[in-house]
Amino acid sequence: MSTPTDAPVGNSPYADSSGSFRRQGPRFADRIVAEPDGEGQWPAEPGRYRLVVSLACPWAHRSLIVRRLMGLEDAISLAIVDPLQDDRSWRFTLDEDGVDPVLRYRYLEEAYLARDPDHGTENGVSVPALVEESTGLLVTNDYPQITIDLGIEWAKYQRLGAPTLYPEGLREEIDAVNEGVFHDVNNGVYKAGFATKQARYEEAYTALFARLDELDERLEGRRYLVGDHITEADIRLFTTLVRFDAVYHGHFKCNRQKLAEFTNLWPYARDLYQTPGFGDTVDFDHIKRHYHQVHTSINPTQIVPLGPEPSVWLEPHHREELGGSPFGADGTPPEPLDGPLRPLPPLDM
């Protein structure tokens, strides 16, 4: 995800002349695969690549969850950027001396420029990004494909008991669910939040809640969106849901109701949050600071709200009564994390 920084009040850098939000697609769509057989394909090799993410970004959060579910922590190293950005976008200011210890970069933009010297910040510097450690070259920022490939192409290096997130027999249904979720929910909250015309905002708002109502109904008698265990569809929806009440409800004006007021989506989201690999990769501090302090066109005071209370995510959900299992019949959970991924210093007073 690449987001606007320090935009003038009343103007969205991502809105077109009609007032509609427009998302840039991934420009670097190379793939890391088990057996490369053509241009734009890189070999899946442990220790070769570094995954760069923001804990604030829902698109990057997907890759963090999949890396953890697959047990690829030792195969692919992890870099976490500052949730705040400047005019060069994502930066490594959380690391000692503001330099990533592996890539030796101060800005993720440097990996983009190493790949394409003509690539400017105006073309987007987005996370997640996979970077070759030895050369510092950006390999791919193709966020939809990254998670699928982590689940399939890295099979040789995955942990025992890793789930199958994109099973062949369910791919058509998963793709159909993902298509609607992407346009109306994942991207829909941005369409509402960055719209600069009332009509465009209302269109996005209406489509968002129509889709959420449909998903709420779909989840009434089933634990997961597709099949009887977690798939790509659940991961892609979760990263928006977990940010909904903390950010999108107020900051992006998606305020018909809170996630916590949905009959089925709310316990479904809590079920996922309480599943290893999901809640332990969520950082509400990073999330709230990024949206409320970077999007100055929406929140010029940069005040970061204190709520909601994160402990509500740990309340019983009772979704296990619907059957199914998170990791499939033969799957197991990943090992617990040692602690928070990247704590932030206190907010300046």
Q: What is the DSSP letter of 259?
A: G
The Cα 41–Cα 190 span in angstroms is 31
Per the domain annotation, does 185 fall within a domain? Answer: yes
The verdict on residue 336 lying in a domain is no
On whether both 260 and 218 belong to a single domain, the answer is: yes
* Same structural domain, 123 and 205: no
**pLDDT digits 0-9 by tens, 309-320:** 999 999 999 999
Query: pLDDT tens digit string along 2-46?
Result: 554 433 333 445 667 777 777 776 789 999 999 999 899 999 999
How far is residue 7's CA from residue 296's CA, in Å, rounded to a whole number?
6
Angle between helices 232-243 and 265-273 in degrees, nearest 10 = 100
Q: Is residue 18 part of a domain?
A: no
Question: Does the pTM exceed 0.85?
Answer: yes
- The pLDDT tens digits of the residues spanning 97-143 come to 999 999 999 999 999 999 999 887 667 899 999 999 999 999 999 99
Q: Are residues 114 and 207 in the same domain?
A: no
Please state, in angstroms and rounded to a whole number, the distance separating the CA atoms of residues 33 and 154. Answer: 7
Task: Give me the residue label for tokens 């019983």.
Answer: 316
Say whether both 188 and 74 belong to one domain: no
Angle at 316 between CA 315 and CA 317, to 5 degrees: 115
- How many Cα neighbours within 13 Å face the side chain of 202? 3
What is the residue-wise DSSP string for 139-184? Answer: EE--HHHHHHHHHHTTGGGSPTT---SS-GGGHHHHHHHHHHHIII
- 313 and 237: one domain? yes
Q: Are residues 113 and 55 part of one domain?
A: yes
Q: Note whether residue 80 is domain-resident.
A: yes
Are residues 179 and 313 both part of a single domain? yes
Q: Smallest Cα–Cα separation from 290: which of 8, 42, 81, 141?
A: 81
Catalytic hit among 14, 57, 105, 268? 57
Question: How many structural domains compose the chain?
Answer: 2
309 and 180 in a common domain: yes
Q: Do residues 326 and 225 make contact, with C-beta atoms less than 8 angstroms apart?
A: no
Active site residue 57: yes
Q: Residue 328: inside a domain, yes or no?
A: no
Q: Does residue 220 share a domain with residue 308? A: yes
Q: Are residues 136 and 182 in the same domain?
A: no
Kindly state whether residue 271 falls inside one of the protein's structural domains.
Answer: yes
Report which DSSP code applies to 230.
Answer: -
3-class state of residue 51 by DSSP: strand
Neighbours of 316 (CB within 10 A): 10
Does residue 330 fall inside a structural domain?
A: no
Domain of 71: which CATH number?
3.40.30.10
Q: What CA–CA distance (Å, rounded) separates 207 from 205?
A: 6
152 and 173, same structural domain? no
Q: What is the torsion angle, in degrees rounded to the nearest 10, for the CA atoms of residue 46, residue 231, residue 193 and residue 298?
A: -40
334: in domain: no
Region 263-284: mean pLDDT is: 98
| Residue tagged active-site, from 105, 190, 224, 273 | 190
* CATH code (residue 183): 1.20.1050.10
* 140 and 284 both lie in a single domain: no
Residues spanned by the domain of 133? 31-157
Instruction: Return the residue matching tokens 């976490």.
Output: 80
The mean pLDDT value for 322-345 works out to 93
254 is catalytic: no
